[in-house]
Amino acid sequence: MADHALTLMQAIQSMLDSQVSLAGGWLATRIETPDYPVGFIDLTSSVPVRGQAFYAEQHRGVVSVWSRKTVSTVPSPVEAFQLSEAAHRLLGSSVLSSGNLIVQQFQCGVMTPRSPDDGLTWGRSFVFTATTHEVHHG
């Protein structure tokens, strides 16, 4: 049996890496001093769904994009907003299934702005949900 959560995270990260390029990349873990703009993919829950002759998992997570003011520029949310819009559109229309793992009902939620706590860093995030199940061949 495949690890649904890990396979889903890898599919999301691969899709974003190939289509929405960020200087700091798309990361599944926080690092202390990232390059900006940077994106984070957090899986917040995976719940098994069992039924007669089937097994599936329901997943929930958050995708966030962060940009930071550079020297001699005014802090602005525009970069983070544009990049998160691109990620939102891409994931909302992507086929993330691979091998024996089928990703169905992938949905992206409403985007939420993140104002800078430090006066320099802007972010924008959205929640995603997905249901995965396995297909056995033969």
Residue extents of the structural domains in the chain: 4-134
Mean pLDDT of the chain: 89
In 10 A of CB 112, how many CB atoms?
13
- In this prediction, residue 85 carries a pLDDT of 96
Give the model confidence (pLDDT) of 57-69 as tens digits: 999 999 999 998 7
Q: In what order do the strands lie in the sheet with 121-134?
A: 26-27, 38-51, 54-68, 121-134, 101-114
Torsion sign, CA atoms 58, 22, 30, 117: negative
Distance CA 26, CA 107 (A): 19
| Res. 3: pLDDT tops 50 | yes
Cβ contact 18:96 at 8 Å: no
> For the chain, what's the residue count?
138
pLDDT band at 19 (very low <50, low <70, confident <90, very high): very high
pLDDT recorded at residue 116:
78
In this prediction, what percent of the chain has a pLDDT beyond 70? Answer: 95
Please report, for residues 48, 49, 51, 82, the alpha-carbon distance to residue 54 in angstroms, rounded to integers and kept in the order given. 11, 8, 5, 40
Residue 8 identity: L
Q: Which fold has domain 4-134?
A: STM4215-like (3.30.2000)
| Each residue's pLDDT tens digit, 93-130 | 999 998 888 998 899 999 998 887 887 889 999 999 99
Only one residue has tokens 């994106």, namely 39
pLDDT of res. 104: 85
pLDDT (0 to 100) of residue 138: 54
In the prediction, which pLDDT does 76 show?
76
pLDDT for 2: 56
In this structure, of 41-55, 70-84, 91-105, the range with the lowest mean pLDDT score is 70-84
**pLDDT at position 1, please?**
44
